[in-house]
Structure 1
């Protein structure tokens, strides 16, 4: 396989590329009202990640990718007290054969090299084999252009070597306009929302760590009071992660600058939460350097991005009846189907 191997699709309503590294979607354009729109975000250092000081997943992060398992380990002293127990219970208690690849940021598939299985005029199918010590055997990813519309249909097939449970997620990254509040997020129905229990950027994040809320336009702040997080970008430079739990499987994003709306739909019976990663110029260190302006709209079964340990343990989300992991069975591969469209 050549460096930066990619495969390309073009149809009447748009075009896209799929990259071998991380199996990532990139270079997406849709035709809308006689013009091209580009909904997705890609980090600005892709051309020279080494010079920018970017490593691992961050070095090649593009428009959308699967996360198996979802997250990365956190330490208990990094989070709100209500989450301490979930991060001090050993993950081995729930799965004694946890593998080192379970602790990679968003999983082996996000950094490994995928191979092409097949390609047609409307579909690209790629796959990756996980390390032999992993409970996960193989991922197969299908990216299919809807020939009748500006839309992409996805499938992710997860095969397991042994029965286990893991947090799973999807990671679409949406570009934000520069005008404050110009992109509106309509998440549809959800049971409750929760603020990331660790900040996630101490001294920068404004939402109150670990707080619960019922409306995205009325989220508690660490300094007191409430603020709206449904219109982005925010006026203040910040970094926020919010989890909308018990989702109905749909979120719409209305870009009032581009005069276009996008919809992401998925099977909420498998992935019952939506994680909102609001990267609002809040990371001042390399390679971010205060220039990242995007929102990750990420369907998950997980406890934020706190990794396997917190997601498999009893935690403040699954205590309220919302699953934070998916059972993987060697006899019954898991399939995640989802769709992104101009609407």
Structure 2
């Protein structure tokens, strides 16, 4: 039987990748000052037995992985009209963040300098196959990743990358460093009932001043984790394709870079102990820093429709052709601070 996970060591670190979801974590980086840091998150239940009803994506949730198609459908009741009009119920075969996030990938043999995986999609899907290659940088604490999509027929799909980063326990002990961007959007409705802190369907242009749900002082969403239990999503548009998370408690900065032509938005999943149902149980503390071509991860029907983000000129789905496989590259690195 194919190994459930594989590890790879290099002169500046070590990493582990699992077949389920093709997820990468933990990754240990050795900094130039001699310290070892591990920026990617592993869910607290990742090594616990979970119910068979838990989807594949959650069973051993960890680190970083690609999603095709990105997102999942939610009910449109109670949403602002401009969103509700373009939202549809989930299809019977819909899986949270796509087939790639919920099933075991296969190892593809390679030399000892990289890990390669691939996954064939069901025959009914327009996607035929996805491939993933993970290459540590021999020169230092960094990993370069390549992701490819092969389709059977012409199609449009929302896609995304799903890096999830570990946060320190102390409120405000990490700082999200976005740089300049065009526009930020709060989630149009509520991610988790009773746990919202940001105003719904609002616009902002400073991550340090996001409108609050209670109408009070704006919230500095760059300082994490929050003092209150919450579950929130923010979508950022117009970034140059690079962002950083400074872990002030542990003294390092993790940098993520990507191709903004492929992923024109950045989705910030702020999971701050806000989900109390199993397996979350109010203990999940992390931030997803997710380059996407998607409207808040609301699933393929909404992504393909004339939704408010697409109407603003920001793509929420990409075109794919069987004659031209899609390939994108992105990079994770760390440095001391």
TM bucket, shorter chain: over 0.9
**Residues 63-93 of structure 1: CA deviation (Å, up to 9, x unaligned):** 11100000011111153333111215x89xx
Residue 176 of structure 1: CA displacement? 0.5
CA offset at residue 267 of structure 1?
A: 0.1
- Partner of 1:86, secondary structure, is coil
Identify the structure with the greater helix proportion.
1
Secondary structure of the 2:138 match is coil
C-alpha deviation, 1:325, in angstroms:
0.6
Structure 1: distance between partners of 2:61 and 2:78: 25
1:268 to 249, 257, 260: 260
CA distance in 1, matches of 2:111, 2:34: 26
1:199-214 residue pairs with structure 2 within 5 A?
Answer: 199-214=190-205
The worse-fitting range, judged by mean Cα deviation, of 75-84 and 35-44 is 75-84
Separation in structure 1 between the aligned mates of residue 102 and residue 51 of structure 2, nearest angstrom: 19
Q: Is the 8 A contact 2:165 2:287 kept in 1?
A: yes
Give the whole-Å Cα distance in 1 for the aligned partners of 2:245 and 2:69: 26
Which residue number corresponds to residue 130 of structure 2? 139
State TM-score, norm by structure 2: 0.95
- Identify the residue that residue 321 of structure 2 maps to in structure 1: 329
Q: In 2, are the aligned partners of 1:199 and 1:208 still within 8 Å (CA)? A: no
**Normalising by structure 1, what TM-score?**
0.93
* Farther-moved stretch of structure 1 (149-158 vs 119-128): 119-128
Task: Supply the distance in 1 between the matched residues of 2:170 and 2:296 (Cα, whole angstroms).
Answer: 28
Counterpart check, 1:15 vs 2:14:
yes
Task: Tell whether the 8 Å contact from 1:46 to 1:59 is kept in structure 2 after alignment.
Answer: yes
Cα pair distance change 1:224/1:333, threshold 3 Å:
same
Number of the residue aligned with 1:96: none
In structure 1, stretches of 5+ residues that fail to align are: 92-98
Number of the residue aligned with 1:25: 24
> For 1:311-326, what aligned pairs fall within 5 Å after superposition?
311-326=303-318
Give per-residue Cα distances to partners, 1:178-234, cap 9 Å, x unaligned.
111111011122211111112101211111121111111111111103111011001
Query: How far is 1:100 from its partner?
Result: 5.2
> Quick one: which of 148, 154, 157 aligns to 1:157?
148
Gaps of 5+ in 2: none
Partner secondary structure for residue 10 of structure 1: strand
Q: How many residues align?
A: 333
Residues 279-288 or 265-274, more deviating? 279-288
Counterpart position of 2:233? 241
Partner of 2:288: 296
Q: What's the RMSD between the two structures over aligned residues?
A: 1.7
Cα distance in 2 for partners of 1:189, 1:75 equals 33
Q: Could you say what secondary structure the match of 1:109 adopts?
A: helix
Q: Deviations over 1:37-70 (max 9, x none)?
A: 0101111112223269744311121111100000
For the structure 1 residues 51 and 68, does the alpha-carbon distance in structure 2 shift closer, same or farther, using more than 3 Å as the test? closer
